[in-house]
Amino acid sequence: MRIGVLTGGGDCPGLNAVIRAVVRKGVQDYDHDFIGFRDGWRGPLHGTVVPLGIPAVRGILPRGGTILGSSRTNPLKEADGVRRIKENLAAHEVDALIAIGGEDTLGVAARLHDEHGVRCVGVPKTIDNDLSATDYTFGFDTAVNIATEAIDRLHTTAESHMRVLVVEVMGRHAGWIALHSGLAGGANVILVPERPFDLDEVCDWVTSRFRASYAPIVVVAEGAVPKDGDLVLKNASARDSFGHVRLSGVGEWLAEEIERRTGKEARTTVLGHVQRGGTPSAFDRWLATRFGLHAIEAVDDGAFGSMVALRGPDIVRVPLAEATARIKTVPAALYEEARVFFG
Ligand code: F6P
């Protein structure tokens, strides 16, 4: 069989580990051959391909980013997008596609399979960890480790100056990175998109922390919103082809408000794409490799329209459509657990 591989959406550590595992097992165990499509769905749409054999995947296990490139191209919004993809797959004699992506990339794979008969298998990735069908996505653990290390460092400088330090982390609809890194890093306030925050309460927590002679660390997810306000954005007009606004801005706004209301000096650190770059953690390499091995097995079994997912210790197959139907958000009870450390 000839199999196409693509990586779409925001990149994340572990993408290359999946590609390596798919190709190694596919060539060694099944004698398949592979081509890489460049830059997410843009590749199949424009027919841009690169060779993808064992030599191409040598040494890439610890490398961040993706050797195939990525983009947020939505082919379903392009005139004749489906027809062009089908023609390009046929031109390159591709029998099946492995799409590695988050809700948007895999949402396209689900529709191409269910509505247009394109033979796709999905692999879930996102640092946000917000795909409902899988316990974890790879990339998340690395992002949490990076954010935790940053929080550890910010504690010492905050205490030297007795300032508030606001740390803005990624998390569009879900506060998983904020919650995990905030707990691991001993933050004094954690704000997530799932729970609109009360600015008066945040200022009370900050003030009580100073009273105990400590400098507070506030971790805020970029998608968190104040109770009686809207999403704070630096650039409200920028949108990608899936219609998502470009987030970031709440951290700076929060520091200004805290300083104005409490009279305490406040600074902001926006971690941004540092959370997505560089080498994957051991856990992410392990998970990404297992996802890759199971994805190629699913292709070989003809299990098209499915996505591989982690459930407990097992990798299982779930229908792509079901996997992309809902976002996995932080449950209220889990957030409540962390509140004992606030203030
Ligand atoms: O979807 C993953 C993610 O890192 C989000 O946390 C973030 O909001 C978004 O991507 C940023 O996207 P971009 O790199 O396209 O600005």
Catalytic residue among 11, 128, 130, 141: 128
What residues does ligand 1 touch, defined as CB less than 6 Å away?
A: 10, 102, 126-128, 170-172, 222, 246-247, 276
Average pLDDT, the chain: 96
Average pLDDT over residues 317-321: 96
pLDDT band at 236 (very low <50, low <70, confident <90, very high): confident
DSSP secondary structure string for all residues of 63-131 = --S-TT------GGGSTTHHHHHHHHHHHTT--EEEEEESHHHHHHHHHHHHHH---EEEEEB-TT--B
Q: Is 114 annotated as a binding residue?
A: no
- Percent of the chain with pLDDT strictly greater than 70: 100
Give the mean pLDDT of 190-219.
Answer: 97
Whose CA is closest to atom 8 on ligand 1? Answer: 172
Q: Is 230 helix (H, G, I), strand (E, B) or coil?
A: coil
Question: Is the predicted pLDDT of residue 238 greater than 90, yes or no?
Answer: no
Instruction: Check whether 51 has a pLDDT greater than 90.
Output: yes
Q: Ligand 1 centre and the CA of 328: distance in Å?
A: 16
Specify the pairing of strand 306-311 against strand 314-319. Answer: antiparallel
Looking at residue 22, what is its pLDDT? 98
What does the pLDDT read at residue 245? Answer: 86
Q: Which domains does the chain have, with CATH numbers?
A: 2-138+280-323 (3.40.50.450), 140-276 (3.40.50.460)
pLDDT of residue 230: 85
Is residue 274 a known part of a binding site? yes
Give pLDDT tens digits for 102-141: 999 999 999 999 999 999 999 999 999 999 999 999 999 9
| Residue 128 designated active-site | yes
Distance CA 16, CA 22 (A): 10
**Cβ(46)–Cβ(73) below 8 Å:** no
Which is the closest atom of ligand 1 to the Cα of 9? 1
Q: What is the best residue among 74, 127, 129, 140 to mutate for testing ligand 1's pocket, by most ligand atoms within 8 Å of CB?
A: 127
Q: Does the annotation place 146 within a ligand binding site? A: no
Residue 208 confidence (pLDDT): 95
96 bridge partner residues: 3
Can you tell me the distance from the alpha carbon of 171 to that of 101, in angstroms, rounded to the nearest whole number?
A: 16
CA dihedral 336, 201, 143, 233 (to 10 degrees): 130
Q: Residues 183-195: what's their mean pLDDT?
A: 98
Give the separation between CA 307 and CA 80, rounded to whole angstroms.
Answer: 26
Count CA atoms within 13 Å of residue 158 on its CB side: 27
* The pLDDT value given to residue 239: 84
Per-residue confidence at 85, pLDDT binned at 50, 70, 90? very high
pTM for this predicted structure:
0.96
